[in-house]
Amino acid sequence: MEEKSISDIIEKYLKSILADDEKVEIRRAEIANHFDVVPSQINYVIKTRFTLQNGYLVQSKRGGGGYIRIERVNLIDDVDVLDMLINTIGQSLTENDAFTIVQTLYAEKVISQREGDLMLAALSKETLSVSARQDADRLRARVLVAFLNRLRYES
């Protein structure tokens, strides 16, 4: 039997809640108590598994009545989400992060498998073969932003 990390288990639990609703509000301490982990473990899972690149919008409110709101976003219907995704990319993007974004676009049916494959080929380190990795990451970010801007105006 395959062993899963506690992060995988927490992620699966939160995604099962999101399967019923597009949006969920949780209290970090309650989830931490439920899984008998420290609250920072919940932060880690949310920060690494529920990113905009993965199709989630996360908002939080601190304090006594605080919460963490996780919302599944539909990339094709929400131009604002594509704008936020473009802003998230910024000036530099690793190949792994680019792969995650393209994978999410495919999963959300924003692009076809063939389009995703073409995008991945254009964003690969082999294609962007430049001497400095930082230059490749900057070029990759510009290329993916151009793809996303083009997708924003597709009907």
- DSSP label at 67? E
Q: How confident is the model at residue 10 (pLDDT cuts 50, 70, 90)?
A: very high
Residue 68 one-letter amino acid? I
Counting Cβ atoms within 10 Å, is residue 120 exposed (0-12), middle (13-18) or buried (19+)?
A: middle
Beta strand segments in the chain, E: 23-26, 56-61, 67-72
CA atoms within 13 A on the CB side of 43: 6
117-147 tens-digit pLDDT: 999 999 999 999 888 889 999 999 999 999 9
pLDDT band for position 155 (50/70/90)? very low
DSSP category for residue 100? H
In this prediction, residue 117 carries a pLDDT of 96
What are the pLDDT digits (tens) for 51-108? 877 778 888 887 766 789 998 876 666 677 777 888 889 899 999 999 999 998 888 7
Task: Name which of 20, 34, 52, 27 is nearest 10 in CA terms.
Answer: 34
Q: What is the pLDDT of residue 144?
A: 95
Map out the domains of the chain with their CATH numbers.
6-72 (3.30.56.130), 79-152 (1.10.1200.150)
98 CB-near residues (< 8 Å, 6+ apart)? 120, 123, 140, 144
Burial status of residue 36 (CB atoms within 10 A of its CB: 0-12, 13-18, 19 or more): exposed
**pLDDT at site 65:** 65
The pair of three-digit structure tokens given for residue 62, joined into one six-digit string: 């601190």
Whether pLDDT at 17 is above 50? yes
- For residues 123 and 95, the answer to whether their CB atoms sit within 8 Å is yes
- Quick one: pLDDT band at residue 35, thresholds 50, 70, 90? very high
pTM (two decimals): 0.60
The pLDDT assigned to 75 comes to 62
